[in-house]
Every structure is written in structure tokens, then in C-alpha cells.
Amino acid sequence: MTTAIILVLVALGSVLFHILSPWWWTPIASNWGYIDNTIIITFWITGVVFTAIVLFMAYCVFRFHHRPGRRAVYDPENKKLEWWLTIVTAVGVGAMLAPGLFVWNQFVTVPPGTSEVEVIGQQWQWSFRLPGEDRRLGTSDTRYVSSDNPLGLNPNDPDAHDDVVIEANDLHLPLDKPVKLLLRSIDVLHSFYVPEFRTKMDLVPGMVSYVWFIPTRTGTFELLCAELCGTAHYAMRGKVVVEQESEYQVWLRKQKTFAQLSARTRQAKETQ
């Protein structure tokens, strides 16, 4: 009896905790509302299954626990029941998978006309690069990394010269403009994670990965590293500021290009 009651309390307690929990996802700030919807569908299906199974167990423990003279029913198989359960499960699984794959297709397909921004991770800071007036990012390679070229841009590539370099500072993005982040690391794995954007993707040294989204709300959002990257992993934070186009342009004009930064370091070296 006690065991049955505790099982019921575990099932109902879990549901109550879910409903009353003050810990819930952050208000969304991107176009990935579909992700939240898929999570809600999944919560419903799994919640019903969990509650049903635990309550059924509680009922069995209550109804069929040992009493003198009780004998179990000899009941080896029931093909019909087993097939029904299999089919119902398959349908439930399909109901979660189908919307999931539908959204995943959107998640990995970048719409044409999306502007590109490069994110560079290194122990333990975030840097960014925006294409300059030619709207093209120049090539890069870890081999070019040096104190006056911290992001490893190709100095021989004319496309790279007008690229805007933001070293260890905040990234600004214009509101409602789709953006494709090209992710690159110069040392170890990192992961670009902004909870409000519902995006996360690893930065892998030696290759370029990507993720895209549309910022739909202005504000300053915390950028966290979500892939263990060494001792100061927990402190590898950044900020992404989403603002109106006009404010964004003001910010953009204050940033330095690769050519300006290298010229400045050259000058500094010469005067020394």
C-alpha cells in the first residue's frame, strides 16, 4: 500500500513540479519558435507515457501485492496486445520525429541572401569578423595567426583587407536580418551558445561549421561556451547585442578593418 502511494506521489509530483517549476526556458529572441513547439509536443507525449506507466505500476502493486493464498496468473504471451502496443509506440515516436525532422531541415538550410559573420573561438575569448564593403570574407588559416593578426586572416587575400575585425569584444547584429555564423577555432573545441537564440554549434579547429538564425528581439544576450575547452571554460563568455539597423550602422562605423589594424600595429612597431 505504502509503495503504491509513493509511486503515485512520484508520478503526480513530477507533473506538479513541471507545472509549477520557476525554472523554464528563457524568452525566445530568434526565429526558432518551432524548436520550442517541438519541445512542447515532446513534453506532452512523454509526460503522458511516463505518468501512465508509473500509475499502472502503482495500480499493480496496490491490486496484486502478495496476500496469503494469492497466485499469479500464468500468462506467457499475448500477440495481439504486444502488436498493438508496438504500433501505438511507433505512432507516438513518429509524431515526435516528423516535426523534428521538418524543423531540422529548416535549421540546416540557410535561406539565400543571408549575411555572413564569422565567429572565432580561442582559449578563452570570443572574436568576430564581418565582411567589409566587398561583402565577402577573405580567406583565413590558423598558420597566419600572430600577435598582429590574432584571427589568422590571409594577408595576401585582397578580400580580407576590408574585413571588420572585432577581437574579444561584443558582437552586434541588426534586428530581423537573417545571419549565418561561420564558426572557426584556432585552438580547441568551443561551442557557440546563446540560450535565447536556441542555437548551439561547435567551433572545430581545422574546419568551418555554421549555424543560422534571425534575431527577432532587441537586447543584449549572453554568449556562453558550451563545449569543454579547458580550465577557464566556465569563464568564456561574450555578448551579442541585437539592435535596430540604424544603431547597428553607428556601431559598425566605429569598428576597425583588418587593414587598419595591421597598419596600426606596423606603425606601433616602427615607432618603438
Partner 1 sequence: MVDTTIGAAGTIQPAEVKDVELYHPKSWVTKYVFSQDAKVIAIQYSITALSIGLVALVLSWLIRLQLAFPSSLSAIGPGEYLQFITMHGMIMVIYLLTALFLGGFGNYLIPLMVGARDMVFPYVNMVSYWVYLLAVLVLVASFFAPGGPTGSGWTLYPPQAILSGTPGREWGIILMLASLILFIIGFTMGGLNYVVTVLQARTRGMTLMRMPLTVWGIFTATVIALLAFPALFVGSVMLLFDRILGTSFFMPAVVEMGQHLKYRGGSPLLFQHLFWFFGHPEVYIVAVPAFGIVSDLISTHARKNIFGYRMMVWAIIAIGALSFVVWAHHMYVSGMNPYFGFFFATTTLIIAIPTAIKVYNWVLTLWRGDIHLTVPMLFALSFIVTFVNGGLTGLFLGNPVVDVPLSDTMFVVAHFHMVMGMAPIFVIFGAIYHWYPKVTGRMLNETLGQFHFWVTFLGAYSIYFPMHYLGLLGVPRRYFEMGEMALVPPSATTLNIFITTAALTVGFAQMVFLFNLIWSLFKGKPAGSNPWRATTLEWQTPETPPGHGNWGKELPVVYRWAYDYSVPGAKEDFVPQNQPAVARAA
Q: Do the Cβ atoms of 219 and 29 come closer than 8 Å?
A: yes
User: Contacts with partner 1 in 171-190 (CB under 8 A)?
Assistant: 183, 186-189
Q: What are phi and psi of 201, to 5 degrees?
A: -155, 140
Q: Applying CB under 8 A, which of residues 125, 127, 140, 191 lies at the interface with partner 1?
A: 191
Q: How many residues lie near partner 1 (CB under 8 A)? A: 99
Using the rule CB under 8 A, is 168 a contact of partner 1? Answer: no
Cβ 133 to partner 1 shortest distance, Å: 29
Q: Which of residues 208-247 bind partner 1 (CB under 8 A)?
A: 209, 222, 224-235, 237
Contact 176, 165 (CB under 8 A): no
Q: CA 192, 197, 198 angle in degrees (round to 5)? A: 80
Does residue 206 interact with partner 1 by CB under 8 A? yes
Pairing of strands 209-213, 125-130: unpaired
Rounded to the nearest whole angstrom, what is the least distance from the CB of residue 35 to partner 1 in the complex? 5
Place of cell 502503482: 58
107: contact with partner 1 by CB under 8 A: yes
User: Which of 55-63, 162-170, 174-182, 258-266 is the region at the interface with partner 1 (rule: CB under 8 A)?
Assistant: 55-63
Q: Give the per-residue SS3 of 182-197.
A: EEEECCCCEEEEEHHH
Selected from 164, 165, 201, 240, the binder of partner 1 by CB under 8 A is 201
